[in-house]
Amino acid sequence: MKSTKARAHPNIALVKYWGKRDSERILPYQSNFSLTLAPLEVTTTVELGAGATSVELNGKEAVGQERARVVALVEAVGREAGRALGPVRVVSRGNFPMAAGLASSAAGFAALARATRAAAGLPDDVRATSRLARTGSGSASRSVQGGFCTWHRGSRPDGEDSFATQDFTEAHWPELRLLACVVSSLVKDVSSRDGMQSTVETSPYYPAWVKDAEAEVPRAREAVRKRDLASLGALAERNAWRMHATALAADPPLCYLRPATLAVLLELPRARAKGCPVFFTLDAGPNPVLLTTLEHVARVEALAREAGASDVVRCAPGGDACLLPEPLF
């Protein structure tokens, strides 16, 4: 019996992915851009030759679609390796609370892809790993490498050219800080998966979103290259607003914001006017993630708590998904 363990960090999109042109293969309509986040991480162990297939996520046996996606990823690795991998035992654990509002699925599928390919004896290949992680959860394609990554939309129907590449390592901008603010830990009514599908199908603003987001990716990269927080922050904010505007225009409308979300966001221009560089991004949920630099972290955390955040998780640029020596079990 052979078991292989890998670790990956989640990531936060600064230019969001919102909408699939192929839901089976998980191919996006537009390219997108993200930062990998430490110290949050998911560790996944894959054991080939187990008695029966089992998938355990954070101490609970996975069922339904969650389990099916893990099994499909393992089968895809078997096809690439040219042999069925047989029953497999997968155990995955995250070190951060779901309430942080950061998707553990991105880190989970990136770690699963890395570990399964290694367990099957396939060579280390970041593009192949990113493509594979993508089939579990789109944003997972961006957690295979650390630092700043672009997930290229690609144009091939088979998705072979749709994977993430690293633009800058985590060492490029070490003083950058991201604060995940919890304003609501309720499970959202509409998942990202369903929300983006409904937006594609019913929002009249969707084509404009696709065009704009694609054009923002090189601008985001340039702001990161220059370590220009004011430009990157302004870009991240308008991109988040545009994603939410597109979703609000869906039928029925999709509103992921809560009053407490706005209470935090509306403080930011005031803080900036007082000389504190702080900007937000917002995924398909109520919990904002604030961008600032190391020297302003304490002030930004205090601001978020005063505005109503019940918890604040401090993050910094994280590194590549990697194999770990000891198995979990």
Q: Does 16 bind ligand PMV (CB under 6 A)?
A: yes
CA–CA separation, 123 vs 116, rounded Å?
A: 11
Q: Does 139 bind ligand PMV (CB under 6 A)?
A: yes
Picking from 168, 224, 161, 192, the residue whose alpha carbon sits closest to that of residue 14 is 224
Nearest distance in Å: CB 327, ligand PMV: 27
Q: Does 103 bind ligand PMV (CB under 6 A)?
A: yes
Q: Does 178 bind ligand PMV (CB under 6 A)?
A: no
- The count of residues interacting with ligand PMV (CB under 6 A) is 13
Nearest distance in Å: CB 56, ligand PMV: 20
Q: Does 167 bind ligand PMV (CB under 6 A)?
A: no
Q: Does 9 bind ligand PMV (CB under 6 A)?
A: no
- Contact predicate 11/290, CB 8 Å: no
Q: Which residue has the tokens 């779901």?
A: 98
Choice from 3, 104, 137, 184 touching ligand PMV (CB under 6 A): 137
Picking from 173, 174, 141, 195, the residue whose alpha carbon sits closest to that of residue 10 is 141
Nearest distance in Å: CB 87, ligand PMV: 27
- Contact predicate 181/46, CB 8 Å: no
Q: Does 289 bind ligand PMV (CB under 6 A)?
A: no
Picking from 277, 265, 284, 268, the residue whose alpha carbon sits closest to that of residue 195 is 284
Q: Does 192 bind ligand PMV (CB under 6 A)?
A: yes
CA–CA separation, 54 vs 73, rounded Å?
A: 14
Choice from 138, 288, 308, 318 touching ligand PMV (CB under 6 A): 138
Task: Choose between 181 and 284: whose C-beta lies nearer to ligand PMV.
Answer: 284
Choice from 127, 172, 193, 299 touching ligand PMV (CB under 6 A): 193
Sequence-separated (6 or more) residues with CB below 8 Å from residue 60: none
CA–CA separation, 318 vs 40, rounded Å?
A: 8
Task: Choose between 78 and 154: whose C-beta lies nearer to ligand PMV.
Answer: 154
Q: Does 283 bind ligand PMV (CB under 6 A)?
A: yes
CA–CA separation, 229 vs 292, rounded Å?
A: 8
In the complex, the residues that contact ligand PMV under the rule CB under 6 A are: 13, 16-17, 32, 103, 105, 137-139, 192-193, 283-284
